[in-house]
A = this chain, B = another copy of it.
Amino acid sequence: MHGIAVLGAGRIGRIHAANAMAHPLISLKYVVDPIDAAANELATTTGATVATLDQVFGDPTIGGVVVASSTDTHLEFSMRAVDAGKAVFCEKPLDLDLATARSAASSLGSGNARFFLGFNRRFDSNFRGLHQQIHSGEMGALETLHIVSHDPAPPPIDYVKVSGGMFKDMTIHDFDMARWLLGEDPVEVYSAATSVVDPAIGEAGDVDTAKIILRTGRGRICVISNSRRSGYGYDQRIEAFCSKGLLRAGNVLSSTVEAWGESGSSSGPLQNFFLDRYAGAYRAEMDHFAEVLGGISQPKIGYGDGIAALAIAEAAMESHRSSAVVEIRY
């Protein structure tokens, strides 16, 4: 059993804590959160103990930490954990600022660091199946990629204001998926973005709707469609156009029930949001962290992936501002 601590008792911290508790090889020992009530509540439901960071990093029975605290603490907590010899499972993003994130290279990017960055979609069984079928070559070479990633409804404007902007907060997942599925880095980006969902988002200097084109060094093209509000649930689809045909991963419905009447058929909604759609992906992330803790696997997603996704996000933002194609600098 690998002893771990969860840093951060918010929504995503509670998910990881529950998965850790249910994992046969992981023992959740500590919960850390600056808000006592939150820490206490999570500790109670999981049987863990509330602790300080010093206690966590100083306890030799702790093999790793899950960094699910606020974004501005991701780098600091991760570096302290690496210094203490702990494996790290860090929520995305690394940081909202690319330059700041780059400054952690000698620590988190070193060959010795066991630093796993949680881009959860890579662990979704549908997207894993898609990745596998693309790379099996059964459909020939991947030529172009379409990623649709629309949230059901926009977050509160207070969240938007501290989110780093849609490209870093939301599209960053799609940039990572593009890199993972294409198997190479995009070299340039063009973003056509706007704010139509909520005027307050535009007033805050952010966008809520975007169509983005990425080109790779080998000339392959990826289109990403983003919206903060779909109106019909959580739309998460990918189409991979290959030289011999099409591979695609679709949405997951909340029910198989159909009603057929005079005016046609109707079906229930899509799964509403990421906690449902990616519940299995979060469990699979914890499985992978157990492998990292056990020395069975290197982290499948690391510091370099976090930097790359941030670099694309900054270039996408620059493209939006300049209405021009922008070269991506990694």
Contact = CB atoms under 8 A, between A and B. Distances in A.
Contact of A247 (B125, B213, B257): B257
A309 B45 CA distance: 40
A287 interface: no
A204 interface: no
A81 to B, nearest CB: 28
B230 A259 contact: no
Nearest to A195: B219
B260 A264 contact: no
A12 interface: no
Given A232-B246, A325-B324, A225 B223 contact: yes
Contacts of A190: 190, 192, 213, 325
A249 interface: yes
Interface in A222-281: 223, 225, 227, 229-233, 235, 241-252, 255-270
A133 interface: yes
Nearest to A226: B144
Interface stretch (A101-109, A135-143, A162-170, A298-306): A135-143
Nearest to A224: B223
A265 B263 contact: no
Contact of A266 (B213, B225, B242, B265): B265
B125 A255 contact: yes
